[in-house]
Amino acid sequence: MSQTPYAVAQTNESALATNKVLKNTYLLLSATLFFSALMSAVAVATNASFMSALVCNIVAIGLVWFVIPKYRNSVAALPLTFVFVGLLGYGLGPMLNHYMAAYSNGSQLIGTALGGTGVIFLGLSGYVLTTRKDFSFLGGFLIVGFMVGLGAMLLNLFLQIPAIQLAISSIMVLIMSGFILYDTSRIIHGGERNYVMATISLYLNIVILFQHLLHLLAAFSGDD
């Protein structure tokens, strides 16, 4: 049975809305990643302390949990988003300085982790955009997995067992890869119509993926 003109119009309108969200999301994502990298460079150059990084991360968490969702549809959403990514970017500085100081090939490890993160993100996003496959079924599993991983990380702050940290990082790489599939799928299937929130989700996936990929590369580099 052929679609009615009204149904066709609705389908076309939905496709246009989806394409607009995708376009705005990837444009904003590119800008936020650039700004975040700039703030990381500032933190590295000024040798930012771990305490300052902790404060930045706490403020960023407060923004993404309580503030940005409230203003997601207002003109304040964009500047708040850049404050959020700027804080997280600055918060990465001490970690990057640690790897550059602790490993003779620290800069190379960071570059490799960045490249690997980019390849994973582009590959997974491209797969979803090409196949249009719906990965919404992963949602519950990914959220539970992330919460378990977060709990394990907090526990290992006290245990300080390297093998556990390696296992956590391996699992988190898989979980963040799953979230890239899930969040991209949500955009193209209409589950997320706000490009600011879509950008933040993908940005967090990328940053967390980068951190854990860097840890794995450092652990297996053979250079302590």
Q: DSSP states of 156-172 as a string?
A: HHHH--HHHHHHHHHHH
Among 221, 7, 188, CA closest to 107: 221
- What is the predicted pLDDT for the residue at 159? 87
CB 88 within 8 A of CB 59: no
pLDDT of res. 190:
87
Task: Give the range of the structural domain holding residue 125, as residue numbers without chain letter.
Answer: 5-219
Instruction: Decide: helix, strand or coil at residue 105.
Output: coil
Those residues whose C-beta lies under 8 Å from the C-beta of residue 115, and which sit 6 or more positions away, are none
Residue 139 within any structural domain of the chain: yes
Task: Specify the pLDDT at position 133.
Answer: 95
Domain membership flag for residue 128: yes
Q: Which residues in the chain come in under a pLDDT of 50? A: 6-9
DSSP 103: -
pLDDT of 224 reads: 54
> Alpha helix locations (H) across 92-161?
93-102, 106-131, 139-159
Is residue 46 included in any domain, yes or no?
Answer: yes
CA distance 177 to 7: 35
- Three-state SS sequence of 28-65: HHHHHHHHHHHHHHHHHHCCCCHHHHHHHHHHHHHHHH
In a domain, 188, yes or no: yes
Where is 87: in which H helix or E strand? helix 77-91
> Can you tell me the distance from the alpha carbon of 9 to that of 30, in angstroms, rounded to the nearest whole number?
32
Length of the chain as a residue count: 224
Report yes or no on 82 lying in a domain: yes
Residue 31 tokens read as 């800008």
Tally of domains within the chain: 1
Indicate the DSSP class of residue 67. Answer: I
Closest CA to 95 of 44, 138, 141: 44
What is the pLDDT, as a whole number, of residue 8? 44
CB 124 within 8 A of CB 181: yes
| Residue 224 placed within a domain | no
Tell me what pLDDT residue 157 has. Answer: 87
Please indicate, yes or no, if residue 194 is contained in any of the structural domains.
yes
Q: What per-residue confidence (pLDDT) applies to 149?
A: 94
